[in-house]
Copies of this chain bind each other. A is one copy, B any other.
Amino acid sequence: MSAPSPASLHTFLAHCRTLLGDGHVLTLADEMAPFLTDWRGRFTGSALAVLRPATVEQVADTVRACARWRVPVVPQGGKTGLVLGGVPDASGTAVVLSLARLNRVRAVDPLNRTMTVDAGCVLQAIQQEAAAHDCLFPLSLAAEGSCTIGGNLSTNAGGTAVLRYGNTRELCLGLEVVTPRGEIWDGLRGLRKDNTGYDLRDLYIGAEGTLGVITGAVLKLYPRPKAGITALAALPSPAAALRLLALMQGHCGASLTGFELMSSFCLGLVARQFPGLPRPFEGGHAAHAQYVLMELSSSESEAHAVGLLERAMGEALEQGVVEDAVVAKSVAQSQGLWRLREHIPLAQAKAGKNIKHDISLPVSSIPAFIEQTAPLLERAFPGCQLVCFGHMGDGNLHFNVAPPEHVPHEEFLANQAEVNRVVHDSVARFDGSISAEHGIGALKRDELLRYKSPLEMNLMRAIKDALDPLGIMNPGKIL
């Protein structure tokens, strides 16, 4: 794509002002700054302008202008992504297309169990709207107060309820997308079954804005569970956690809605950094190797959930799969247990930066993966500390590597590429994925090239070229 001339860019921006109004075409550095730096503050890009359309038609008009003037488009939601997918590169040639002003809930159909929303709706607002109709929208993740559903869809976000309800892809029935030509594809269907041609919906979901701009969606709702119960189990090993998962799923079926693994080191880190949080087990955290946080939901009653959990945990204790367990006796205690899990990333941040991996594996391979990968890291970086936790029920580990004690964090970060290599090579040996729920963005492009087959890259490039022949959609992301 040849760069447009300064004079033509001037005309382009004037055209955008006509389309959106002066106040929604930001070009001053101060105005643009909040849109250019990523969530973790690791990268600041540059942009020609930040455009803030308010309607789907304005999005289409804007993208049509970008196509005409050959201006790259970076769609942006809540900007909470972790792989630099929603911020522009340093060239300053692209516009940021913020979807924040498209934030209406368009319709709720409780009997069809669907909600139709604008892409810029904040996830938490959608959860609340569902609850107001006595329904559940199950997508739930740490950034839910800021992230938007358009971003969740574009990255196929995961979160804590995937075990029962699936990823964002499984929670979406229909989409509205502005194509790179500025056409509006109305795929806002609220159907559970529809076999009429290629699955465009799932192609746009997870494409991280490289094939078009998601502007609206039909989301799936579920009946709200009547009760939930939380338990924390202490176990001797990841292998025991795998046995516990099978046992719980056999007993509880779809009632098991969460199964989070946390190493002893993780809970120790949380206890050191946040001494005010509960310590569920006496004798400290060194006593057991692993912990599993479990959530059960019942469509019937609290007594049903308690009964289910008691029977399953009774068997687990009897079989020696679990060494100890605490069950939350109140909503407050349940929240206290979840806070332990949620504070792991915060405790890491307080302790200093580490090298993060968002990987997935066949669930059955998790024990062997940990067992084989930890010594490889120890050999390469003696004394390094593993912060291993994650959504074990989905095979998704956050397998982070912190420096040895007394080694400065910044110094250790220089090893990022080699640490990635050890971890991702091991992931590849187990037929896992180097990005379970965060996506590729700009951050993991080189890793993708390394681990995907040339054929799969070619198939993806063929699709990209077919749907975005000018190459204006979020260039430099994924491919």
Chain A interface residues (CB < 8 Å from chain B): 109-114, 155-156, 158, 162, 164, 166-167, 169-170, 179, 183-187, 189-200, 202-203, 205-207, 211, 222-223, 225, 242, 246, 249-255, 298-300, 308, 360-365, 391, 393-396, 431-440, 444, 448, 451-453, 455-456, 459-460, 462-467, 478-479
Contacts and interface: CB of A to CB of B under 8 A. Distances in A.
B467 A462 contact: yes
B170 A433 contact: no
Nearest to A194: B433
Given A112-B365, A113-B363, A251-B299, A190 B463 contact: no
Contacts of A391: 193
6 contacts: A155-B195, A158-B195, A162-B193, A189-B431, A194-B433, A197-B479
B463 A198 contact: yes
Contact of A179 (B156, B187, B459, B467): B459
Given A223-B250, A299-B255, A362 B191 contact: yes
A431 to B, nearest CB: 6
Given A169-B199, A183-B455, A478-B197, A192 B365 contact: no
Given A432-B191, A440-B197, A466-B463, A363 B112 contact: yes
A191 B361 contact: yes
B193 A158 contact: yes
Given A223-B250, A462-B467, A195 B300 contact: no
Contacts of A156: 195, 199
A196 B437 contact: no
Contact of A206 (B199, B438, B452): B199
